[in-house]
Amino acid sequence: MRENTRKQKEEMTISENSLSRSVAQSRESLVPAVFLDRDGTIINDIGYLADPGGISFYHGVPEALKRLQDRGYLLVVITNQSGIGRGFFDEETVLAVNLTMLRLLRGKGVEVAAIYYCPHHPEDNCRCRKPELLMVQRAMGDLGIDVSRSWVVGDIDKDVSTGIRAGLRPILVETGKVEKGDVPVDVKRCETVVEAVGFILDQGMG
C-alpha cells in the first residue's frame, strides 16, 4: 500500500491511521474487532465506485454497525480497490469515497477505527490484496486487536479466506456478488450485515 502525501491523502491519514494509533494507545489490553468488506457488504457494489455521491448503504447497516460499536467492537474496513491498478481511477478518488463514507457513518453515530485498501491489480501479486493478510496484519498492529474475539464479514470467498487465514471468525453475506466463489460449507452465512451483526452479538465476546 502506498504512502499518502497530498493534502487529501493527509486528511485520510488523520481520519484513519492517526485515529488507529490513538485508539490502540488508549487501551490497556487487546480489543475485539469486526473487519468489514466495503463494496457489496456495507455499501452497494455498483462496480468500481468512483463517485462519492454513489455511496448507498444496504438497509440498516449504519444502525447495525452502531450496535457493534456500542458493545465494544472496533470497526475496521478492509477493501480491495483494483480500479486503481486497472487505471479506472486514482488513489485520490478512493480516498474521497472513503472519507465520504466515514462522514456519513459518523452522522449516524458510527466511528470506523480505520480503513485499509489495496490499490493493486490482481496480477501484481502484492501482499495486501485479499485474501493476502497485510491489511489485517497492519490493523492488528495499529489497533491492538484480539484475534480470538474478532470477526470478518464479506460477500465473497476472498473475505472468508482472509478471515480463516488470519484466525478470525468469518461470516459470508448474501449481498453483493452473486458468484461467491469457493466458500467452505461450514462457514456461517447471513442474508445481510444486519443479520450478521445479530449473530455476532448473540455469540458474545467469549
- pLDDT band with cut points at 50, 70 and 90 for residue 28: low
pLDDT at 143 over 70: yes
Catalytic residue among 39, 142, 155, 157: 39
pLDDT at 77 over 50: yes
Coil, strand or helix at 205:
coil
Backbone angles phi, psi at 145, to 5 degrees: -90, 140
User: Is it true that the peptide bond before 131 is cis, omega within 30 degrees of 0?
Assistant: yes
Question: What's the pLDDT at 13?
Answer: 39
Query: Are 155 and 177 spatial neighbours (Cβ–Cβ below 8 Å)?
Result: yes
How much is the mean pLDDT over the chain?
89
**Which is more confidently placed, 11 or 55?**
55
Catalytic residue among 37, 45, 155, 157: 37
Map out the domains of the chain as residue ranges: 11-203
pLDDT at 44 over 80: yes
- pLDDT band with cut points at 50, 70 and 90 for residue 29: confident
- pTM as predicted: 0.86
Question: What's the pLDDT at 204?
Answer: 87
Residue 39 is among the residues annotated as catalytic for this protein: yes
- Cell triple for residue 93? 478518488
Question: What's the pLDDT at 139?
Answer: 97
Range 11-203 classified under CATH 3.40.50.1000 = yes
- Please state the length of the chain: 206
pLDDT at 12 over 50: no
Question: What's the pLDDT at 24?
Answer: 42
